[in-house]
Chain A
Amino acid sequence: MQKQEFTITVYTENQIGLLNRIAIMFSRRKINIESLNTSPSEIEGIHRFTIVIQEFEDVVRKLCRQIEKQVEVLKAYFNTNEELIWQEMALYKVPTDVIAEKVKVERLLREYGARAVVIRKDYTVFEATGHREETDRLIKALEPYGLIEFVRSARVAIIKDSSGFHEKLKEFEAQEPGEGVIENEYLGKGTEVFSM
């Protein structure tokens, strides 16, 4: 087994201190977080964390169980890159005069799927979204023209075959615990997993 990139998706209550509670679960195991994004979800009071790490699948599985054990965590999923659709957003600040003079801007934008978000006399800011390699390519392209500043967001990801966590999230609103909240991952896979 090899370490590979996993994206962990955690749904939590919106509580002060929870970021720390989750982050120390990684540091305790000496796992480096490659990228971490947290933001409100579509449900009021529920936040969504997207955390990218390089790890062994077994470690990630156990880690997710431990994360899920935290009182304020509703659910933790982990996925490989194949199981996800994800994007990162990047902003590039470049001197306007150089760009205007030396680059065929419209071509550049089309080629990299970028767009200009600010155009000022002194600088212009482009935005591009995509996978790491894609946003990296645009750095390469802009670097010769005096790239002033660059910033990239953490990953945001959507699970390809998740069957509507939105519905499940709503269940948590109910007073009574919803069925299937603590999932038995082996359920329905009896013979596969439990070859005796």
Chain B
Amino acid sequence: METAKITKTQAQGAAAQTAGAQGAAAGATPQAAATGAASGAAATSAAAAGAAPAAQPTTTLTGSQAVLEALLAEGVRTIFGYPGGAIMPIYDALYDYQDKLEHILVRHEQGGIHAAQGFARTSGQVGVVFATSGPGATNLVTGLADAMIDSTPLVAITGQVFASLLGTDAFQETDVINITTPATKWNYQVTDATEIPAALAKAFYIARTGRPGPVLIDITKNAQQQKFDYAGYVPCQHVRSYRPKPIVRKEYVEQAAKLINGAKKPFVLFGQGVILGHAEAEFKAFIEKGGLPAAWTVLGLSALPTDHPLNVGMLGMHGNYAPNVLTNECDVLIAVGMRFDDRVTGRLDKYAKQAQVVHLDIDPAEIDKNVKTTVPVWGDCKETLPLLTALLEKKTHSEWMGKFKELGKKEVEAVIHNELNPTTEQMTMGEVIKILNELTGGDAVIVTDVGQHQMVACRYAHFNKTMSNVTSGGLGTMGFGLPAAIGAKYGAPDRTVVAIIGDGGFQMTLQELGTIMQFGAEVKILILNNQFLGMVRQWQQLFNDKRYSFVNITSPDYVALAKAYSIEGASINVRAQLKGALKTMLDHKGSYLLEVMVGKENNVFPMVPQGCSVAEIRLS
């Protein structure tokens, strides 16, 4: 059994990735990097082939070796993947790189890509996943779509049949490029080894710059095997048709500032753009100077500490009462790095019609896409926020903040109090999260799957560090939680990672327990079992007259299952055991599975029913 433990080296690897990227961006010394890579390659290929290293400046490598050299040059240290015939040459080369590149063998390619996503979301680096052709590649599609909509930087590398067989329905051939086109920021098929260094350089550059996203490189088997003269790796810094960042227009920053300074009831909505732009400090300075109440989208969660006095809660369908209602009362709405998803806006024709809208976004296509903007501030919010803050008048909108508090109280009375301090015998998901908060102090990385537990976790989990909330926002992918948590642990090896998962979603990718067993990723798995596909049941209850059509789901004995994978665990169904069980889970050295039986028919409220305005949010 392999027992690779997650150590600081991975964190350093991640740091190297940033350094590499920055070096590249600054145009530091690509030559130096290239020579470094080349000499490394020479040593490795020499070791592999048992031949003397070639004389400089070029060296002979196989396409596969060039792939791995590219990963090293980009600062990659961890790869998630699954081998197969069409990617065997790369795996063969990997055998010689084991001391430099750690490969985590997952149990399903979907698990691999979700793990790479979890890694990217907690490390801020590009996640990397390998898969073979055909079924291996098609198993990546869900994760690509998920990463695309949630702007997660990924490089997926798939093997492909020999170039001579392309288009012949060869064994395990699928048209991966066309299948993945709508789900990737960019993709490319390599049929000749000489293309590899440049293709991978471009892939990493595109994945991590601008609005990040997933990139797929499909490499035919002949290209992986082919030997070629390798002249080193040159990081990509420019693609002629690609402008990662729009040019900041100062006059719009000025207009935005004027609008905000004149506002009586300004309201800030922030999304993942703040985290992706590493602009948490700039964001905090911005809202603090302007005295601006700020609410988060699910993906913006953890960009601002939960208990910050200006943090007024979560937006959207299961968000908090005050921010939803007051969206339709504010006079200036300032959207920062968020994209007005329909789960946030509810009915668009009744959304913030009274407000002037300022929209800060790096992606020009987001401006005016859903909500008409009064002043667009194109750009990376790390750059635009300080410009805007500099022009703001120092203010405290205490009366306006008072409205948030007032409505907040109403929500506490109607929903939150009962959810967190239930008088019923059955446990609620909310109280589990509340005690988890007490025990972790808001320091943990919380990974969630999709469903009621996700919304409850996002509503109630406390965060005091950024990049701590990993969830599938835009795609809502059940089965995301467990593998993403594994990746999250590799991305943040020093932090406690708690995966909160429903009984439905857990059964979608539970085979990844095998990955935990083999590689020792320390993940605390918290299954909130309501014996239903809870979120769908809630809709059926509220909107389909309780016609519970196929939402009743049975579970195996999770503790026994965990045990089969050498993972310790417990299952509890009474409140008196809750705190102790959570503490045992958190204190345990190694992974742990805790199943908590919660109320079967509890609902998540408040809720903006589909097709309603945010102001029509229901408290019960």
Residue of A at shortest CB range from B252? A184
**Contact string against B for A residues 15-34, beta-carbon threshold 8 Å, 1 for contact and 0 otherwise:** 01100110010001000000
Q: How far is the CA of A24 from the CA of B243 in the complex (A)?
A: 22
Task: Write out the residue numbers on chain B whose beta carbons fall within 8 Å of the beta carbon of A20.
Answer: 178, 181
User: Known: A187-B249, A194-B255. Is A71-B375 also a contact (CB below 8 A)?
Assistant: no
15 additional A-B pairs beyond A184-B246, A194-B255, beta carbons within 8 Å, are: A17-B187, A20-B181, A21-B181, A24-B181, A65-B365, A68-B364, A68-B365, A72-B186, A73-B241, A177-B238, A180-B247, A184-B249, A186-B376, A187-B249, A196-B259
Number of interface residues of A (CB under 8 A): 33
Structural contact, A62 and B178, CB atoms closer than 8 A: no
User: Known: A62-B368, A69-B365, A182-B364. Is A194-B241 also a contact (CB below 8 A)?
Assistant: no
Q: How far is the CA of A12 from the CA of B252 in the complex (A)?
A: 29
Residue B182 CB within 8 A of the other chain? yes
Q: Which of B182, B365, B376 contacts A184 (CB 8 A)?
A: B376
Residue B463 CB within 8 A of the other chain? no
| Whole-angstrom distance between the Cβ of B455 and the nearest chain A Cβ | 28
Q: Which of A28, A72, A184 contacts B241 (CB 8 A)?
A: A72
Residue of A at shortest CB range from B244? A177
Of all A-B residue pairs in the complex, the 8 with the closest CB atoms, nearest first, are: A65-B365, A182-B246, A71-B186, A74-B241, A172-B240, A71-B242, A13-B241, A69-B365
Task: Write out the residue numbers on chain B whose beta carbons fall within 8 Å of the beta carbon of A17.
Answer: 177-178, 181, 187, 189
Q: How far is the CA of A28 from the CA of B251 in the complex (A)?
A: 36
Chain B interface (Cβ < 8 Å from any Cβ of A): 177-178, 181-182, 185-187, 189, 206, 238-243, 246-247, 249, 251-252, 255, 259, 356, 363-365, 368-369, 374-376, 378
| Whole-angstrom distance between the Cβ of B51 and the nearest chain A Cβ | 35
Structural contact, A28 and B182, CB atoms closer than 8 A: yes
Q: How far is the CA of A82 from the CA of B71 in the complex (A)?
A: 52
Structural contact, A13 and B181, CB atoms closer than 8 A: no
Task: Write out the residue numbers on chain B whose beta carbons fall within 8 Å of the beta carbon of A163.
Answer: none
Most buried by B among A173, A175, A179, A194: A194
| Whole-angstrom distance between the Cβ of B261 and the nearest chain A Cβ | 13
Structural contact, A184 and B378, CB atoms closer than 8 A: yes
Q: How far is the CA of A180 from the CA of B365 in the complex (A)?
A: 16
Residue of B at shortest CB range from A175? B238
Residue of A at shortest CB range from B185? A71
Task: Write out the residue numbers on chain B whose beta carbons fall within 8 Å of the beta carbon of A24.
Answer: 181-182
Q: How far is the CA of A65 from the CA of B238 in the complex (A)?
A: 21
List residues 47-91 of chain A with CB under 8 A from any CB of chain B.
Answer: 61-62, 65-66, 68-69, 71-74
Structural contact, B186 and A173, CB atoms closer than 8 A: no
Residue of B at shortest CB range from A69? B365
Q: How far is the CA of A190 from the CA of B177 in the complex (A)?
A: 43
Q: How far is the CA of A182 from the CA of B363 in the complex (A)?
A: 10
Task: Write out the residue numbers on chain B whose beta carbons fall within 8 Å of the beta carbon of A62.
Answer: 365, 368-369
Q: How far is the CA of A175 from the CA of B236 in the complex (A)?
A: 11
Task: Write out the residue numbers on chain A whose beta carbons fall within 8 Å of the beta carbon of B378.
Answer: 182, 184
Residue of B at shortest CB range from A23? B181
| Whole-angstrom distance between the Cβ of A38 and the nearest chain B Cβ | 15
Q: Which of A13, A180, A196 contacts B240 (CB 8 A)?
A: A13
Task: Write out the residue numbers on chain A whose beta carbons fall within 8 Å of the beta carbon of B177.
Answer: 17
Task: Write out the residue numbers on chain B whose beta carbons fall within 8 Å of the beta carbon of A187.
Answer: 249
| Whole-angstrom distance between the Cβ of B209 and the nearest chain A Cβ | 10
Q: Which of A21, A66, A176 contacts B365 (CB 8 A)?
A: A66
Most buried by A among B181, B241, B363: B241
Task: Write out the residue numbers on chain B whose beta carbons fall within 8 Å of the beta carbon of A172.
Answer: 240-241
Residue A181 CB within 8 A of the other chain? yes
Q: How far is the CA of A72 from the CA of B413 in the complex (A)?
A: 54
| Whole-angstrom distance between the Cβ of A45 and the nearest chain B Cβ | 9
Residue of A at shortest CB range from B366? A65
Structural contact, A12 and B181, CB atoms closer than 8 A: no
Q: How far is the CA of A73 from the CA of B364 in the complex (A)?
A: 14
Most buried by B among A71, A172, A182: A71
Q: How far is the CA of A69 from the CA of B246 in the complex (A)?
A: 11
Residue of A at shortest CB range from B239? A71
Most buried by A among B181, B186, B375, B378: B181
Q: How far is the CA of A180 from the CA of B364 in the complex (A)?
A: 13
List residues 108-157 of chain A with CB under 8 A from any CB of chain B.
Answer: none
Most buried by A among B242, B246, B251: B242
Q: How far is the CA of A78 from the CA of B243 in the complex (A)?
A: 20
Residue of B at shortest CB range from A187? B249
User: Known: A17-B181, A71-B185, A73-B241. Is A196-B356 also a contact (CB below 8 A)?
Assistant: yes
List 20 interface pairs A-B (beta carbons < 8 Å), by A numbering: A13-B240, A13-B241, A17-B187, A17-B189, A21-B181, A24-B181, A28-B182, A66-B365, A69-B365, A71-B185, A71-B242, A74-B241, A172-B240, A172-B241, A173-B240, A177-B238, A180-B247, A182-B364, A184-B378, A190-B255
Q: How far is the CA of A182 from the CA of B375 in the complex (A)?
A: 16
| Whole-angstrom distance between the Cβ of A23 and the nearest chain B Cβ | 10
Task: Write out the residue numbers on chain A whose beta carbons fall within 8 Å of the beta carbon of B241.
Answer: 12-13, 71-74, 172
Task: Write out the residue numbers on chain B whose beta carbons fall within 8 Å of the beta carbon of A16.
Answer: 189
Q: How far is the CA of A194 from the CA of B242 in the complex (A)?
A: 29
Q: How far is the CA of A24 from the CA of B238 in the complex (A)?
A: 26
Q: How far is the CA of A196 from the CA of B263 in the complex (A)?
A: 12
Task: Write out the residue numbers on chain B whose beta carbons fall within 8 Å of the beta carbon of A65.
Answer: 364-365, 369
